[in-house]
Structure 1
């Protein structure tokens, strides 16, 4: 099964690559192209990325892009684990190790993690920090085998609030089924403002998950369904 064989909604563009390195390079190129367009139009640009292990190759490819001025670009995360930046599970730590290197280090980074007493307080602090984000020019989402994206997990307490299209919050506390349990996630309302959203996935298993999500059903059962509509580009490799 190839991604081109799936019945995608109108306006959703599939991109298939034979290997992860080729996907990472292509995604890095289109990301920079879109950021450049935003800079030319507005004098500033924003990039929202996802954490976990899958984006590392993309981060490295993005850091290798030459001839691009990152000084007017703001970078932040679609979600974060509520752990200190030095922790092995920190998405911010991952971004700093693999993306904010060389020329990309000139970009402004908005941190979602705050060392507060409670997770709820951390989400409120992240919400305030994200007020400085002037929209989302490029959004790179991933997807879990359960159909979650960002940290919008099925059956998580607070999921209904996070998926509310009219929710004024930018960031909310979420609970994951795997360690670390406590997460922070951008809301659906904020993620949906992205001008160029991308879903980047790898492997046959993720293609099966995508097929199930496209088959229809409640968004709360597979939150990625909220984003499977135009405009969206899907990048996939085996």
Structure 2
């Protein structure tokens, strides 16, 4: 794991956008397409604002969330909504978006179909992650039902997460898929998340799910 510290959040957003654009461009030199997995939440928004203007062959870039809340795309808590509003605009409007959730009664119903769609995208070309103060990443939460299976070497591409601390079910890329990305980045802000990351380094993934992806991870941090 490598940690890059920035003087401020604006500088971090600009630099991370440039790094991701460079890695996508490098992937497209040797591959027909590049897969980019990104988180929701408010933290990556400024990165998306810069990345969407990058001069790339966006029609060869496939964008997907690292995880998704099981809510309609127009819902305020939808990761797809944020990604479409902040990333898939400007030059990046030509990218292909690959949703993790369809509006069904049970997310298990759409999981096989979405896994089939995602399989050709693996391993992920570029991965950007977020992390909570509780050391969760994507929708892998400590103590949630099914976490052990989502962390295992034989995990499927996707898992349905029903953490008791969250108001809705979620669908998430599993640790195997996240950790297998060709390039991995973590974006965090504030001292509390820096402290949480340091705690995670000494804990098993069952207690700190972010620990499952720390090998070869580049961490971008600003106060």
Q: SS state of the match for residue 224, structure 1?
A: helix
Query: How big is the alpha-carbon RMSD for the aligned residues of Structure 1 and Structure 2?
Result: 1.3
| Aligned twin of 1:235 | 220
User: For 2:145 and 2:40, how far apart are their aligned partners in 1?
Assistant: 21
1:82 maps onto 2:60 in alignment: no
| Aligned twin of 2:131 | 143
Q: SS state of the match for residue 226, structure 1?
A: helix
Q: SS state of the match for residue 162, structure 1?
A: helix
| Aligned twin of 2:210 | 224
- From 49, 52, 76, the counterpart of 1:60: 49
- Shift in Å, 1:177: 4.1
Q: SS state of the match for residue 91, structure 2?
A: helix
Deviations 1:204-236 (A, max 9, x none): 00011011111x12211111011112x211100
Q: Cα gap change, 1:176/1:58 in structure 2, threshold over 3 Å: closer, same or farther?
A: farther
C-alpha contact (below 8 Å) 1:124/1:172 kept by paired residues: no
Q: SS state of the match for residue 59, structure 2?
A: coil
**Deviating more after overlay: 153-162 vs 169-178:** 169-178
| Aligned twin of 1:126 | 114
- From 142, 167, 172, the counterpart of 1:180: 167
User: For 2:111 and 2:141, how far apart are their aligned partners in 1?
Assistant: 16
User: For 1:180 and 1:98, how far apart are their aligned partners in 2?
Assistant: 24
Listed as ranges, the matches of 1:150-165 within 5 Å are 150-165=138-153
Number of residue-to-residue matches in the alignment: 223
| Aligned twin of 1:170 | 157
1:21 maps onto 2:7 in alignment: no
Q: SS state of the match for residue 46, structure 1?
A: strand
Listed as ranges, the matches of 1:206-217 within 5 Å are 206-214=193-201, 216-217=202-203
Deviations 1:45-99 (A, max 9, x none): 111101111111111111132x222111111011000000010000001001110
Normalised by the length of structure 2, the TM-score is: 0.95
Q: SS state of the match for residue 149, structure 1?
A: coil
